[in-house]
Structure 1
Amino acid sequence: MTAANPAVLVEGLLGGSPVVALELAHGEPPALALARAGWRAERALSAVSLPGPEWRVLVRYAVAPADPVDLPAEPTVRRDAGLGEVDVAGAVVRRRVAAYALVSSARGLLLTELSARTNVAGRWNLPGGGLDPCEQVEDALRREVWEESDQEIEGVAFREVVSDHWVGRAPHGVVEDYHAVRLIHTARCPDPTDPVIHDVGGSTSDVRWFGWDEVGQVPLADSVAPLIRDAVRRHLA
């Protein structure tokens, strides 16, 4: 992949030893790639940027042998309304690797509201954002959380990958064949304050701490809504 489109490598470990290594195809979720190779993704272990001149991100999973015929469902490739076949055929291929976190504190769960620069303005998302070329994943997460909320985090733990693939028009007007690879973490904010957006004019229009019993009252971004709802259920159980 190019500097703008990092390669995503997936390594499967069985009993702590590597047993499979592959590179994600464009739009391909890691669990599907592993299943095609005969392995079932049991648990996401780590995600790091690799050193070197080329931008590569390595995601490791604990795996178990699986029947390659029993594949996960192929992901649906969404298309923005109003795009014709000519638009789709000429779409610029882009992959974005981003780090996000379920950030909790004594004040609840930190969420960011998506701005009019996105196609889902008004929905609430996890704090985080795209990696800079060759930036370490946890460094990117800490930077993005601070830029979007002025909060410092600790206890960062990698949890899973959310892969999404669609064809749509970017804010600058270009039609893109877009693969979003979201590296999801959990983290704690030991000293929560009233959030402040430092990256003004970006994809975040508001940021707030929500009490756990308040989260279900706001519209959530589809890509992370199941993760957020599951976290709320576990916290309130």
Structure 2
Amino acid sequence: MDIVGLSVSSLDVVYRHRLAHGEDPRHAAAERGWKVERALRAELSGDDLELALLVSPLRGGPRRPSRTRSDSVAGAVVRQRPAAYGIVLCEDSLLATEFSSLTGVPGQWGLPGGGIEHAEDPAHTVVREAWEEAGQELEAPVLIDVQSDHWVGHAPSGVLEDFHAVRLIYAARCPRPKRAVVHDVGGTTSAAQWVPLQRWHSVSWTRGARSLLQRHLDSCVSGLSAEFSCRS
């Protein structure tokens, strides 16, 4: 994945780099003297992805590298997985999907989404996954954030992986919500549900999903309410 930093004040390109394995785009920006304000767009460039970030000058200048980069753990399969997920709303509910026993967090809940297929637009990934995992049709998703996690551990298959997850986070509206149903039976999703907004805190979310919802849900709901007002 290629990263492009655009000045929030002028939209000029202020840096470009190839996202290294295990590297967080926010830390990479800080090491270059910039603070990520928001994710702007993610699009295909040839067969690869290009992620554009709006950035502003970091007070105090460039930061030192947050960690010492080293070789992968001996015997671990190195894997960087770009994926796309959606904070999907209807008028009063949030779409949630439950992880199956094929994952490392069975029984916990997350946002609909998954791995970006070869030459697939990330926004289309969210649309496709919402249908496969929950039977819902979405309108055009909007990129709002990027999330990065890096760990070494055993996958559910037993394979030792040096795993780098790069998640593009979208906001999306479901104009015609239906009963949630999993179409991709036997995969990483065991169930899906519409969660009333007033009780979203009570769901057993993964750590990453809860963090994203705490950061973005209120603004996503406000944007949805404004859209309905404009259409009425």
Match of 1:4 in 2: none
Match of 2:31 in 1: 36
User: Partners in 2 of 1:172 and 1:98 — Cα distance?
Assistant: 20
Matched, 1:60 2:52: yes
The two structures, once aligned, show a CA RMSD in angstroms of 2.0
Q: Does structure 2 retain, via aligned residues, the 8 Å contact 1:88–1:175?
A: no
Q: Does structure 1 retain, via aligned residues, the 8 Å contact 2:152–2:160?
A: yes
User: Partners in 1 of 2:37 and 2:64 — Cα distance?
Assistant: 14
Q: Give the secondary-structure state (helix, strand or coil) at the position aligned to 2:204.
A: coil
Match of 2:105 in 1: 120
In structure 2, what residue type is equivalent to 1:10?
Answer: I
Unpaired segments of 5 or more residues in structure 2? 223-232
Q: 5 Å matches for 1:57-206? A: 57-66=49-58, 67-70=60-63, 74=67, 88-206=73-191
Match of 1:10 in 2: 3
Number of equivalences: 215
In structure 2, what residue type is equivalent to 1:193?
Answer: K
Shift of 1:48: 1.4
Q: Does structure 2 retain, via aligned residues, the 8 Å contact 1:142–1:153?
A: yes
Change (3 A) 1:154 1:71: farther
Shift of 1:65: 2.2
User: Partners in 1 of 2:15 and 2:215 — Cα distance?
Assistant: 30
Match of 1:24 in 2: 19
Q: Does structure 1 retain, via aligned residues, the 8 Å contact 2:89–2:174?
A: yes
User: Partners in 1 of 2:26 and 2:67 — Cα distance?
Assistant: 11
Change (3 A) 1:35 1:88: same
Task: State the identity %.
Answer: 42
Picking from 45, 49, 53, the partner of 1:50 is 45
Change (3 A) 1:188 1:233: closer
Q: Give the secondary-structure state (helix, strand or coil) at the position aligned to 1:140.
A: helix
Q: Does structure 2 retain, via aligned residues, the 8 Å contact 1:212–1:232?
A: no
Change (3 A) 1:203 1:88: same
Q: Does structure 2 retain, via aligned residues, the 8 Å contact 1:167–1:175?
A: yes
Deviation readout 1:160-210 (Å, 9 max, x if unpaired): 100000111122221110000000010000000001111111110110000
Shift of 1:106: 2.4
Change (3 A) 1:134 1:43: same
Shift of 1:107: 4.5
Match of 1:226 in 2: 211
Higher helix residue share: 2
Shift of 1:69: 4.2
Change (3 A) 1:160 1:233: closer
User: Partners in 1 of 2:211 and 2:39 — Cα distance?
Assistant: 17
Q: Does structure 1 retain, via aligned residues, the 8 Å contact 2:85–2:112?
A: yes
Shift of 1:70: 3.6
